Amino acid sequence: MGENGFTFTVVRHGEKIRSHRELPSGKNPLSYAYHGLFNEGQSSKLKPYMIEFQNDIREEIPLVSHEGEEFLFILEGEVEFHSTEGNVTLRKGDSLHFDARIAHGFVNSSKKIARAIGVIG
């Protein structure tokens, strides 16, 4: 058994938990959603997600910051990463790793739904 009380966990297809994002204003709908790829009871510093970025919703998202790091791998589509350090366009197969203490946000810049694997730790 590992240090955190588990050796491994499996999250089956269809068991992903969708996180509901809300802006401070409480406005909906939002342009991207996180689907948890981890067991909610699991104690871990890393939280993996499948992220879906809608292409038909445009919103003004305030940049956010928090402790830790983030990693993003683009599975399909095109996503713009916005931050106080600059903006960059990410395409299928690209990855991004950044210090989450910088203010950041994402926007789908493709004509279809974009998907990525993200890890927050």
Judge whether 68 lies within some domain.
yes
What distance in Å separates the CA atoms of residue 54 and residue 33, rounded to the nearest whole number?
8
How far apart CA 61 and CA 44 sit, in angstroms, is: 28
Q: What are phi and psi of 40, to 5 degrees?
A: -55, -30
The verdict on residue 6 lying in a domain is no
pLDDT of 2 strictly over 50: no
Total number of domains in the chain: 1
- The answer on pLDDT for 116 being more than 70 is yes
Contact 78, 91 (CB under 8 A): yes
Q: Does residue 42 form part of some domain?
A: yes
| DSSP letter (8 states) at residue 64 | B
- Does some domain include residue 86? no
Domain that holds residue 34: 29-81
Tell me if 100 is assigned to some domain.
no
Note the pLDDT tens digit of each residue in 58-111: 667 778 899 999 999 999 999 999 999 999 999 999 999 999 999 998 989 889
Would you say residue 49 lies in a domain?
A: yes
pLDDT tens digits for range 12-22: 766 655 555 55
